[in-house]
Amino acid sequence: MSYYLGIEFGSTRIKAVMVDEGHAVAAQGSHTWENQLVDGLWTYCLADVWTGVQHAVATLLDDLAARHGGRSPDIACIGVSAMMHGYLPFGAAGDQLAGFRTWRNTNTGAASAALSGALGMTIPLRWSIAHLYQAVLDGEPHVSGIAHLTTLAGYVHERLTGERVLGVGDASGMFPIDSATCDWDAPRLDIAQGLLDGQGAGIRLRDILPRVLSAGQPAGVLTVEGARLLDPSGRIPAGTPCCPPEGDAGTGMVATNAVAPRTGNVSAGTSIFAMVTLERPLPHQHPEIDLVTTPVGDPVAMVHCNNGASEIDAWARVFGQFAARAGHEVNPGQVFGTLFEAALDGEPDGGGLLAYNYLAGEPVTGLTQGRPLIVRAPDSRLDLPNLARTLIMSAFATLSLGMRTLTDEGVQVDALRAQGGMFATPGVAQRLLAAALGVPVEVAATASEGGAWGMAVLAGYAADSHGLGLADYLAQVVFAHEQVATVAPDEADEAGFARFLDSYRKGLAIQRVAMTL
C-alpha cells in the first residue's frame, strides 16, 4: 500500500495527514503553534517551523504504526502547504534577512496603493510584492541584499528538497500570474521592476522570485538533509518524491472539490476566505477582491478576511474555564459543540447583539487595527443562544460584505463548499453561512480535515494523475463517491442576518473609534 503525505502550516496548527490510495485518511498528527507580535509585526520564528513539523510528523507516524503495524510507510509523494502571502527574504548564502512577516500584517498600505495603481489590478496588503515594495519605500537596508524571496511553503519545500519552486496557486499570492502561461505576469513584472528601480532598490524581481509549477509537475525529492529535518527518526527516507508546494487557499479548493468554473469554497479558521473559480475575468477592479489562481493556474476571485474564528475560540475558552471552576471538566470539542448547538436557538438577528471579531486589522472594511468588541443596546436580549449566534454571524459578516461585490459583478456560483473546524458541528455554521451569503452551502465528510488533506490529495495527483486534469481527477477519482450535506438559505435566517449586517455596517464607526484607544 502506497501513501501520500500532506503537511500544512496553518495559523494555529501544523497538521500532517497521510492518505491511502483511495484518499482515505490513514493517519494524522499535529502540533500547536502561535504567531507573535514583535516590533508591531505579526511573525513566527522559523526555528519553530522545524520543531513543530517534526512533532506533527512523529505523531502521525506513531498513529500510522498504531493503526496499521510498525512498518515504515511506503510514501509515494509528499506535499507541503502553508499560509499564503507574507514576506520571507533571504540572502545569497541562505541567511534570513528580515523576520517572517505574515499575511496578517497591514502596514503595507502605501505599497499596496502604488502597486494597485501601476499594475491595474488590486494588490492586497498581504501579498509578498506589497511587503517587498513597502520595505523599499521604508528604506530598509536589507533590501539590496535579497537574493531570494518566497512564502512559508516555498521556504519549507526548499529546505526539504533543495528546489526553489512554488505551486502556481501559492505564487499567485506573491505576484500576479498569467493564467495562459501559468507563470509570472511578464508585462506586470516589467512595470513593478520600474517601480523598484525608481526607488533605487538594487534588486531584479525576476531573479528573486521562485520558479512557478502547476499541480502534477515534479518538484524534486527529499534530500538527505531534508529527510532528517522532516523526520529525525529516519522512517521517511531521502529520495521520496515531492509535489509543488501550495498555499492554503489552493489546498482548500482541492479539499472541497472547487476548482472548476462556477464552483467555490469557504475556508474558515483564524482567517476566513471564499474562493470562486471564474468563468470570465471580472470587468472592474475592486480593493476587496483578490485575483489568484487554482493549483493549475485557472483564474479565481478571492475574498479574504483577516479575522475568522479566533474570537469564537476565545469565548469557548472562557466557557470551558467556567465549567471547570464549577466542577465540570469538559473537553474543547464539547464546549464548541454546546456553544454552536445553542446558536440554533438564538433569535435570527442575534437578539440585537453586535459583535466584531477583529483581532487584527481588516482591509475589507478599511480598518488597520483590530479591537474585538461585543456591543448591545439596553433592550437587546443577552443570553447564551443569542451570544453564540452573534459570534458565529460576526465571523461571517465581513466575508458577506465582500461576496456581495462579486454578486454585483454578475459572478454566479452554484454552491459553496465549506471546510474548517467551524463546520465540525453538523448544520450550525453551515446554516448560518448559507444565510450570510445567500447561496447553498455544502459540507463534505472531509470538511474538518482541511488543507493538509487537500495537500495529500495533490501529492496523490502528482504521483498518479490517471491522465486527467485536476478538476476531472477530483470529480472522477477523489470525490466520485463522496457524502455531501447541502443546506439552502432559510428565509427567516436570511432576513435575520440582513438585520444583523445592517447594524454591523453602522457599528463599524465604533471600531474606528476603538482603534484610537
Residue 413 lies in a domain: yes
- The predicted pLDDT at position 150 comes to 98
| CA 435/CA 430 separation, integer angstroms | 9
- Residue 67: predicted pLDDT: 86
Residues 376 and 509 in one domain: yes
Show Cβ contacts of residue 406 under 8 Å, excluding neighbours closer than 6 positions: 276, 289, 301, 303
Helix (H, G, I), strand (E, B) or coil at 205: helix
Same domain, 204 and 316: no
Could you tell me if residue 61 is inside a domain?
no
Q: How confident is the model at residue 448 (pLDDT cuts 50, 70, 90)?
A: low
The answer to the question of residue 126 being in a domain is yes
3-state SS assignment for residue 338: helix
pLDDT, mean of residues 170-188? 96
Q: Give ∠ CA 189-216-96 in degrees, rounded to 5.
A: 50
Q: Give Cβ neighbours of residue 331 (< 8 Å, ≥ 6 apart).
A: none
pLDDT grade, residue 290 (50/70/90)?
confident
190: containing domain: 85-150+175-208
Task: Tell me: pLDDT of 409 over 60.
Answer: yes
Provide the pLDDT for residue 70: 67
- Residue 270, in any domain of the structure: no
Number of structural domains in the chain: 2
447 band by pLDDT with thresholds 50, 70 and 90 = low
Query: What local confidence, expressed as pLDDT, does residue 449 receive?
Result: 58
Q: Are residues 430 and 318 in the same domain?
A: yes
CATH number at residue 431: 3.30.420.40
* Residue 375 located in a structural domain: yes
Q: Give the model's confidence band at 60: pLDDT under 50 very low, under 70 low, under 90 confident, else very high.
A: very high
Nearest in space to 15 (alpha carbons), one of 3, 40, 34, 32: 32
Q: Which of 189, 208, 227 is the last residue of a domain?
A: 208
Convert 23-76 into a string of H (helix), E (strand) and C (coil): CCEEEEEEEECCCEEECCEEECCHHHHHHHHHHHHHHHHHHHHHHHCCCCCEEE
Model confidence, pTM: 0.83
Pairing of strands 263-268, 415-419: parallel
Is 377 a domain residue?
A: yes
What gap in Å lies between CA 430 and CA 489, rounded to an integer? 10
Q: Within this chain, do residues 354 and 496 fall inside the same structural domain, yes or no?
A: yes
Taking the C-alpha atoms of residue 182 and residue 176, their distance in angstroms, rounded to an integer, is: 10
Out of 208, 233, 254, a domain closes at 208
pLDDT confidence band for 20 (50 / 70 / 90): very high
| Greater model confidence, 104 or 208 | 208
The dihedral sign for the CA sequence 365, 370, 372, 374? negative
364, 498: one domain: yes
**DSSP notation for 460-500:** HHHH--TT--HHHHIIIIISTT--EEEEPPPHHHHHHHHHH
- The three grid cell numbers given for residue 449, joined into one nine-digit string: 480535515
Note whether 196 and 328 are same-domain residues.
no
249 in a structural domain: no
Residues 189 and 322 in one domain: no
Confidence class for position 280, pLDDT limits 50, 70, 90: confident
Share of the chain above pLDDT 70, in %: 99
Can you point out the beta strands (E) in 161-217? 165-167, 177-178, 183-184, 211-213
